[in-house]
Chain A
Amino acid sequence: MIKTGNRNFWITQIIGWGIFAGSNLIVQIIGGFPLDLLLTNSLIPFSVGFLTTTIYRYLIKDVDWKYWKFSKLLLLLIGSSSVLTIAFMAIIYSILFLFIDVEFNLAKFLSNFVIFGLIMSLWNFIYFFIHYFNSWHNSEIDKWKLAAEIKDSQLGNLKAQINPHFIFNAINNIRSLILEDKEKAREMLLNFSDLFRYSLKHNENATVELEEEVEIVQQYLELLSIQFEDKLAYKINLENDLLKETVPPMMLQLLVENAIKHGISQFTDGGSIVIDIHKKEDFLLLNVRNTGKLNNTVKLGEKLGVGLENIKKRLDLIYTGKAKFDLTEKNNFVTASIKIPLI
């Protein structure tokens, strides 16, 4: 904005004053003025006008007048136009008296004062108009961008619900399983459809009963098991009296997905995942523990923690800062833990 604004200023400035000097010159040539007068009458006002307005612009540039009240802005316009005109006239007349030695003519002085007063006001008006228009235009663009971003992030959240890499691997594995174990393949398709329906059904901010979420995670793990087979061992520890507690949907699933992506799938021998859900004081604790290390080199352009960052944001939104998320490493195990207040 500053850069193009700068260039635009110089272009407008040169063209504007150029038109002023040029038209002045033409009028005087037609009027048959002598050559030396032509120069003083065009060149000097042009240079002085150019100079004073340029200096004025540097003074006004950093003033944040765009949100001023109209009356205040009008006052600024009138005041600055007057100061500009007085400064301009003072310089012009000093030059005329000092170097060219002309006689003072009051009528001419007054008419010049009015004419240049108008020219300076016009300059001022154009300057303010252009800047006002620009800032309005930019704020319109910003509004559009913001609207697009909001939409994007909503779509992004929806897409993040089930990882497409998982979906296609699951389909591919089930396809192969059909030849090997028809009954198991049929069962896996049910798991897949349950998981997919569940992810479509629940929106971002509602909560579901733990029973339902754990059931889905169980099915998700079964689907992962046809990919990893004996390279994935898992266990879910959940006390029965917690089944009716509520949690955000797909959150436990996302923790397991992360455990797979950054843990199990990185190792030739795979590893294990332990999900542990229990109550402590007035909080519900969800722990997902997997073989692996934190900051394991991240590959294929994927950032570690985008998914986890989203979990944090969702927790903040739903529990207004009362929930907590943590990621820790101990003895070659990484634990992701969520602490949710019991209602």
Chain B
Amino acid sequence: MNSCLVVEDSRLARKEIVALIKDLGSFENIHEAQNAAEAQELLDQFDPEVLFLDIHLPGMDGFEFLESLDKIPQVIFTTAYDEYAIKSFEYNAIDYLLKPIKKARLEKAIEKLKTRNEPAEPTKKQLSLDQQIFVKDGDKCWFVKLKDISLFESVGNYSKVHFDNQKPLIHKSLNYLESVLDPSVFFRANRQQIINLNSIEKIVPWFNGKLKLELKTGEEIEVSRRQSQKIKNLYSI
């Protein structure tokens, strides 16, 4: 793999993990950040494939940092001791390393990343369907691929993300989401909702030339008049 980014606030701990990664020789470039702000800069500049992220960071913690990102690389969490976080990782099969980190364990984590299918190269601004987002709901957290999301619903400045029977909130507005999601898959049905076209089960004519959509997950979506016309054109109804 090309490059990775280590985010860790303690210099000695950073030195330790960087030395381990170097030893394994899996990455050509290893970037280092000591807080979220620095990490953000390096992400923008180098677009690393893997993020080694400490949960405890000054200012913005690891979770908040991920929630603030649109595009998330593969993430391996690192922590000294966090009962709650580790419980939620195990629940979700998210990978994490406990400090002090064992070389064999680090090697395994990197191997696991390599076997996962490489995400398709996204266009500059729009997110590809294999891209993942990070959502956190109380003490649970997930990495969710965009293609697995059936519906985004507006709740003030937040949006509710529907996937897998879960519907946590993310701190992004629906308008913002519409601007970054792939319009050939994600469709603004009305002021409140963006749907995944692949999750439509049934299209039903409604009154006033409007349409009603039934999703595979059971939700019924009323499409605004203008958007109904687009659907009709799209499916040549």
**A residues whose Cβ falls under 8 Å from a Cβ of B:** 164-165, 167-169, 171-173, 175-177, 179-180, 226-229, 231, 265-270, 299-301
Contacts and interface: CB of A to CB of B under 8 A. Distances in A.
A172 to B, nearest CB: 4
Does more than half of chain A's interface fall in helix, strand or loop, or is it mixed? Answer: helix
Given A169-B99, A300-B82, A177 B58 contact: no
Most buried by B among A165, A167, A268, A270: A268
Contact of A268 (B35, B55, B64): B35
Given A176-B13, A176-B15, A176-B16, A265 B58 contact: yes
B211 to A, nearest CB: 44
Contacts of A227: 10, 12-13
B81 interface: yes
Interface in B72-123: 80-82, 84-85, 98-101
B201 to A, nearest CB: 38
B137 interface: no
A300 B55 contact: yes
A229 B10 CA distance: 8
B99 A168 contact: yes
30 contacts: A164-B80, A165-B80, A165-B81, A167-B80, A167-B81, A168-B99, A169-B10, A169-B13, A169-B80, A169-B99, A171-B100, A172-B12, A172-B16, A172-B80, A172-B100, A172-B101, A175-B16, A176-B13, A176-B15, A176-B16, A227-B13, A229-B10, A231-B58, A267-B58, A267-B59, A268-B37, A299-B64, A300-B55, A300-B82, A301-B139
Contacts, number: 71
A173 B10 contact: yes
Contact of A172 (B13, B19, B37, B85): B13
A50 to B, nearest CB: 47
Contacts of B61: 299-300
A231 B59 CA distance: 13
Contacts of B12: 172-173, 176-177, 180, 226-227
Contact of B11 (A169, A179, A229): A229
Contacts of B16: 172, 175-176
Given A175-B100, A301-B84, 20 more contacts: A165-B56, A165-B80, A165-B82, A168-B99, A169-B80, A172-B10, A172-B13, A172-B16, A172-B99, A175-B16, A176-B13, A176-B15, A177-B12, A266-B59, A267-B59, A268-B35, A268-B58, A269-B58, A299-B64, A301-B139
A172 B79 CA distance: 10
A168 B13 CA distance: 11
Contacts of B139: 301
Most buried by A among B15, B55, B101: B15
A228 B85 contact: no
Contacts of B35: 268
Interface in B14-59: 15-16, 19, 35, 37, 55-56, 58-59
B203 to A, nearest CB: 44
Q: How large is the interface on B (under 10, 10 to 19, 20 to 34, 35 or more residues)?
A: 20 to 34
A177 B98 CA distance: 18
Contacts of A176: 12-13, 15-16
Contacts of A179: 15, 19
Interface of B: 10-13, 15-16, 19, 35, 37, 55-56, 58-59, 61, 63-64, 80-82, 84-85, 98-101, 139
Contacts of B10: 169, 172-173, 227-229
Nearest to A226: B12
B41 to A, nearest CB: 13
Most buried by B among A165, A172, A177, A265: A172
A71 B195 CA distance: 75
A43 B13 CA distance: 84
Nearest to B13: A172
Contacts of A177: 12
A270 B82 contact: no
Contacts of A265: 56, 58
A173 B58 contact: no
B84 A168 contact: no
A173 B81 contact: no
Contacts of A228: 10
B80 to A, nearest CB: 4
Contacts of B63: 300
Given A168-B98, A169-B80, A270 B58 contact: yes
Nearest to B60: A268
Contacts of B15: 176, 179-180
A301 B61 CA distance: 12
Contacts of A266: 58-59
A299 B56 CA distance: 9
B183 to A, nearest CB: 36
A275 to B, nearest CB: 22
Contacts of B11: 229
